Structure 1
Amino acid sequence: MYSPERPPYLRYLALLGFLVLATVGGGIIHPIVALAPVLGVAVVWVILKVPVRYPVFVVTYLTLAVDYVAERPQSGLWESPLYPLGELLFAQLSYITKIGALRFPLIDVLIVGLMGLAMYRKVVGSKIDPPTPPMPRPLIAVTALSLIALLFMEVRGVVRGGDFKQSLWQWHQAAMMPFIVAMYHYALRGPQDWPIIAKIVIAAGITKALVGSYFALVIIPALGIFVEYTTSHSDSMTFIFCMLVVFIRFIEQPKAAHIIRGLAVIAIIVTGMIFNDRRLAYVSLVGCLLAAFLINPWTPLKRFLVRTLPFIAPFLIVYIAVGWNRPTGIFGPVDTIKSLIEGQGGEGNLDYRDIENLDLIATWAQFPLLGTGYGHEFLLPVPLPDIAFVFPQYRFHPHDSLLGLFAFGGMLGYTGVWLYLVVTVYLAVRAYHRSPVSEDRACALIIVGITAAYINQVFGDMGIISYICTFHISVCVAMAGKLAVLSGAWPMPNSTLLSLSPSAPVPPPGAISFPNPEGAAAASGTHKAS
């Protein structure tokens, strides 16, 4: 007997009914779990149909824009509308689902899942994603070396009797860096995706700045209390990234559109930086611009600045001298400079960070070559104020993560973990001097600046255990590799050249073609800066 085919809309109604019931059931467990069914359907759709770079863009924005719950956003006094998403991304899934075995955050699942999906598509020759340029092999090697060094420090620490549970959170985010780099490598087509990344970071920075401004202007006055910061410590890197995009794009290609858009971005981002009140943000921004200034060739703007500096310097010296003992009002910036020199303990006194640094150096002196390994607390030869009542694990997580690497990993561990930064800067600078495209040159300078900002953040605000900082440096590592190969700063592997066109002659550096129209345009300098 003939049975008419069921109308397609019945299947959609059945799916919708299932999602509604599953959402209601999930909401009984936890409000965030209510999103799981919708997310599940979205995941299936992404796996089957969507180029992997689009979900990577979404994850990048969410990581940088939502509340980073690990750092007590808004000083722990107010939960913004983005707090639930931040909890979903960064809190351990065992806390959300009540399943004890899930002692890792959702962001780890997304990183590994997107990386795995991209690699799988590449292996099976899927046409959903376009071809991507290769990474320089030395960069791949030192990125992998970073993970190997961290694992060595973990094994050494545990063998020496370290606390295994504490040790895992000393290096977790740093260990995710190679996976995030791989995710970006397989997802991004090349320099033509850099303008999209820049816009995503600016959108995230504006989001954070607006949240911080609302908290400072509306919530804090209602509470009537003093707060140390508005959003989180790691947001300094996002703000710096936004400022660098504005300044470097104008330096590389001065035009009215960059000025107009740049001033609008600066107005919002600077407001967020002021309310967030992190000294390190200003220091990093100045350092980034100085690095760009030194790398930049002798343009008319650079000559003008060099010739003008001798005339401005005396006025700056007088300004600092006058405001040194009265750092208020128009002399407010002098207070930041003074606190960086004298510390917050006042003249002649050691503040908390100074004492902590001395203790880290003393810990490193025990095992200068190999360090103590993870899972151990740093020593206290100089007594520190006890902050265990707010941060019980404070001796496992020093504010100065750079000295922490020396203390826990010694010279070998420190070098192994951070060698990738040296190679990243090397490749970015070589690409800068070889690229004919202004947007690519701006990208190279921003990579150098963000690397410097990351080092500062690790040095001053525990940046090595921050997902926000790790995402910033990871996308810069991946993009530095792509820029280097496509600009001719690093040779294209022979296997890749043969796969592109076996019968064609090897193209000269700077004129490398790639089996992707947009990638070819990027490499030849025909794509426009946005």
Structure 2
Amino acid sequence: MYAPPNPSYWRYAALLVGLGLACIGGAAVSDGNPIITVAPVVAATVVWGMTKAPLRYQALAVLYLVLAVDYTPERPQSMFWKSPLFPLGQLLFSQLHELVGIGALRFPLIDVLIIGLIGLGIYRRATKSTIDPPVVPLPRPLIVLVALSAVTILWMEVWGILNGGDVKNSLWQWHQAACMPLMVMMFHYSLRGPQDWPAVARTVIAGALTKSAVSTYFAVVVIPEIGKEIEYTTCHSDSMTFIFALMVCVTRWLERPKAAHAIRGIVVAVLVFVGMFYNDRRLAYVSMVGSMGAAYLFNPWTPLKKFVTRAAILMLPLGVVYLGVGWNSSSGVFKPVQTFRSLVEGQHAEGELDYRDIENLNLIATWSSHPLVGVGYGHEFVLDYPMPDIAFVFPQFRYHPHNSLLGLLAFGGVLGFTGIWMYLVATVYLIARAYHRSYAAEHRSAALVIIGVVASYLNQVFGDMGIISYICTMLVAVSVTMTGKMAMVTGAWPWPGRERALGLHPVTDHREAA
């Protein structure tokens, strides 16, 4: 009978001693930060788990962490309060040299995790590991356009430096955008296909509920105690997470209207909306309207769509009256009108231009100087129109305009703008084809959510610095990846080995793939 070898207790003892010494060393450089103190043990555990667990679980864990922990680059809770998740956010998003004092580590841990999962995926493929099942490929045009985004960013960096740009500041103008192709690669190796969409949706909802809980607690408990007026309760980028979760609740019921979906959707939507309400971002409401509008346009003429359309037409006169009466009213009944008015007119004193309007004019002036190729990264936008100097709170404000869309035109011109964002056009095209070819309600719901993600992302980059946000970039990356896989499975894009890979007979109706 086979007898297993005796365990090497000396090996385990040496491991424990090594981890203990590592913790002592971590405590010496951590300056009292408990996360850094236990980082060696956590890192060893994570590395061991990564070698054993399927990639899809690891990628979903990274997705949840990015969405759920405090996003420190955007000064969560206006830095008046640090939630229990703040240390994790600091560890994930701060440059490592700021935490451990090693100057060479000028990158955040999230970059290490992304590249680590990509490397692990490549290794497992090369060694034919059975830990992960085969994954659905991505359409070649989508791969090319995602790669084109990375190449265009590199070209804009070189072009800007050749024109005298500042290297140090240029790196953070494009860093998160350049991570998008890497994130797509990570999710491609990790997610099998459309069957993993429910897990993705649940992960995003979990992140949204976590942020909503932080937002609500801060608004209801902490703010009354400190007695200060706070602009936002979590951070700007969380709007995309909230909208993603709300769209899942709405579209799942739209595509399969049953009681269970309605009940769960209402509960989740209410809990998420409370956090979004307290976060008080106007863009969140604009994105919600834009996402629902995009879903409305994609949805076929079902009885529900006909009813909503007729009701909207009938209510239009009342809506015009409500808008007109509430335009100059400060009553709480007309708060939606005031929000809409602030979007149209901006927030400024009478007779003055809004700060964002002046910034937009300067970005257009910068673009006008080099309309085709832009000025490149590493340059500030010009100040043809005098504007308030906010360098005392944000020294690099001219490198990172709030309007990322116009900023991309200013820095990259028409060529750079097109090269970086052409993948979004391909995503909308492919997901539209997949939506109308899918017979699974879950997949059709996913398609509408993805359309909403693109709409809310464009709002976020136009109204805020969404292009340099890990949260926004990761939500877009997972949506792009799922779009490609859905397009292949539904037949929206040709896949010669589709029937064989999905176990279908060559003449079988493609609805069986759903």
Q: What's the TM-score, normalizing by structure 1?
A: 0.92
1:29 maps to 2:29: yes
* Among 254, 257, 261, the residue aligned to 1:254: 257
1:354-403 C-alpha deviation (Å, 9 max, x unpaired): 00000000000000000000000000111110000000000000000000
Identity %: 58
* Distance in 2 between residues matched to 1:393 and 1:11, nearest whole Å: 51
Q: CA deviation at 1:499?
A: 7.8
Counterpart code for 2:179 = M
* Distance in 1 between residues matched to 2:507 and 2:245, nearest whole Å: 36
Could you say if the C-alpha distance between residues 25 and 241 of structure 1 is closer, same or farther in structure 2, counting changes exceeding 3 Å?
same
| Corresponding position of 1:373 | 376
* Among 423, 444, 449, the residue aligned to 1:446: 449
How does 1:12-91 map onto structure 2 within 5 Å? 12=12, 15-30=15-30, 31=33, 32-91=35-94
| Corresponding position of 1:193 | 196
Q: CA deviation at 1:347?
A: 5.6
Could you say what secondary structure the match of 2:437 adopts?
coil
Counterpart code for 1:418 = W
Counterpart code for 1:189 = R
| Corresponding position of 1:301 | 304
Q: CA deviation at 1:5?
A: 7.2
Counterpart code for 2:170 = S
| Corresponding position of 1:510 | 510
1:141 maps to 2:121: no
Question: Where does structure 2 lack aligned partners over 5 or more consecutive residues?
Answer: none
Could you say if the C-alpha distance between residues 6 and 465 of structure 1 is closer, same or farther in structure 2, counting changes exceeding 3 Å?
same
1:104 maps to 2:107: yes
Q: CA deviation at 1:487?
A: 0.4
Q: CA deviation at 1:22?
A: 2.7
| Corresponding position of 2:407 | 404
Question: Where does structure 1 lack aligned partners over 5 or more consecutive residues?
Answer: 512-522, 526-530
How does 1:70-469 map onto structure 2 within 5 Å? 70-345=73-348, 349-469=352-472
1:70-99 C-alpha deviation (Å, 9 max, x unpaired): 000001111111000000000000101100
Counterpart code for 1:137 = R
Could you say what secondary structure the match of 2:232 adopts?
coil
1:393-438 C-alpha deviation (Å, 9 max, x unpaired): 0000000000001000000000000000000010001000000000
Could you say what secondary structure the match of 1:174 adopts?
helix
- Count of aligned residue pairs for this structure pair: 508
* Distance in 1 between residues matched to 2:462 and 2:125, nearest whole Å: 38
How does 1:489-504 map onto structure 2 within 5 Å? 489-492=492-495, 494=496, 496=497, 500=501
Could you say what secondary structure the match of 1:104 adopts?
coil
Counterpart code for 1:469 = C
* Distance in 2 between residues matched to 1:63 and 1:277, nearest whole Å: 21
* Distance in 2 between residues matched to 1:101 and 1:507, nearest whole Å: 58
* Distance in 1 between residues matched to 2:58 and 2:347, nearest whole Å: 43
- Decide whether the 8 Å contact of 1:93 with 1:104 is kept in 2: yes
1:151-181 C-alpha deviation (Å, 9 max, x unpaired): 1110000000000000000000000000000
* Distance in 1 between residues matched to 2:362 and 2:77, nearest whole Å: 30
Q: CA deviation at 1:59?
A: 0.6
Moved more, 62-71 or 265-274: 265-274
1:36-57 C-alpha deviation (Å, 9 max, x unpaired): 3223322432343211111111
* Distance in 1 between residues matched to 2:77 and 2:359, nearest whole Å: 25
| Corresponding position of 1:517 | none
Moved more, 176-185 or 216-225: 216-225
* Distance in 2 between residues matched to 1:5 and 1:427, nearest whole Å: 55
